[in-house]
Amino acid sequence: MRDDVKKLLSLQETDQSIQSLQAELEKIPQLQEAAKAQLANDTAAVAQAKADFQANEVEIKNLELDIGTRKNSVDRLKNQQFETKKNEEYTKLGEEVIRYEEQIDELETRELELMEIADERRQQMAEAEAALAKTQSFVDQEIADLAARATQREAELAESQKTREEKVGAIDDEELIDTYTRLFNKREGNAIVQVTEQKSCKSCHVQVTPATYALAQSGAAISHCDNCGAILFP
């Protein structure tokens, strides 16, 4: 292989690493966002459990108000009963007291049911919060791992960029470097490729002419693929 092509091939290897490191670094913030998105369901479940508990609490409060109102009515009726001199009115007031006391009984039974529901919902809330905390710790770990990976890749990238400068410095043909750079970008990292024994270019997979193949073999000059322009080596 020609010395300049050998140097370019080595530069290409470094450029390929740089390219893949950059691609990986670009993806890391997206992966961190995706990790955070895992919290959405658990966060929503906690909010729902809290809302359910709260709604039940409101119902209990309202029930207590209703019970209180009826208890006041019973007190009032009992006072009236105490003060009345009329037998008929006394009986009528007594009946009303019974009616209110029956309502109070029903409301108190309902209140006990709601208190049992409150216990269940408190439990559900605690479970949802525990699930969220568990997911949160996984997510925190994942984000921290990704951050550590980014730091490591950045160091590798800096190292590769240094290596690249050295390799470019060792090639004293500006025009050749320009050609290489243009090809590297155009051929998605496959600027310097082997031409197979079947005369196929490994960048575009098209067969080259016998003359191009012979030139790549001899190394008398730089040989380019007839189709894609990639620099060929045997």
Binding residues vs Zn ion (CB under 5 A):
201, 203-204, 225, 227-228, 230
Nearer to Zn ion, 139 or 183 (CB): 183
Nearer to Zn ion, 70 or 199 (CB): 199
Residue 146: what residue type? Answer: L
Nearer to Zn ion, 146 or 195 (CB): 195
Q: Establish how many alpha carbons lie within 13 A of residue 205's alpha carbon, considering only the half-sphere containing its beta carbon.
A: 0
Nearest-approach distance from CB 171 to Zn ion, in angstroms:
22
Nearest-approach distance from CB 24 to Zn ion, in angstroms:
28
Nearest-approach distance from CB 216 to Zn ion, in angstroms:
11
Nearest-approach distance from CB 208 to Zn ion, in angstroms:
7
Nearer to Zn ion, 23 or 221 (CB): 221
234 and 1 in contact (C-beta within 8 Å)? yes
189 and 197 in contact (C-beta within 8 Å)? no
What separation in angstroms does the CA of 71 have from each of 100, 105, 107? 8, 11, 11
Nearer to Zn ion, 171 or 204 (CB): 204
Residue of 115, 109, 116, 134 lying closest to 42 (CA atoms): 134
DSSP state of 228: T
Spatial distance between the Cα atoms of 6 and 29, rounded to a whole number of angstroms: 37
Nearer to Zn ion, 14 or 223 (CB): 223
DSSP state of 193: E
Nearest-approach distance from CB 187 to Zn ion, in angstroms:
8
Nearest-approach distance from CB 147 to Zn ion, in angstroms:
41
Sign of CA dihedral 55, 58, 60, 66: negative
Nearer to Zn ion, 5 or 93 (CB): 5
Residue of 66, 128, 131 lying closest to 100 (CA atoms): 66
Nearest-approach distance from CB 141 to Zn ion, in angstroms:
46
Q: Encode 108-166 in three state secondary structure.
A: HHHHHHHHHHHHHHHHHHHHHHHHHHHHHHHHHHHHHHHHHHHHHHHHHHHHHHHHHHH
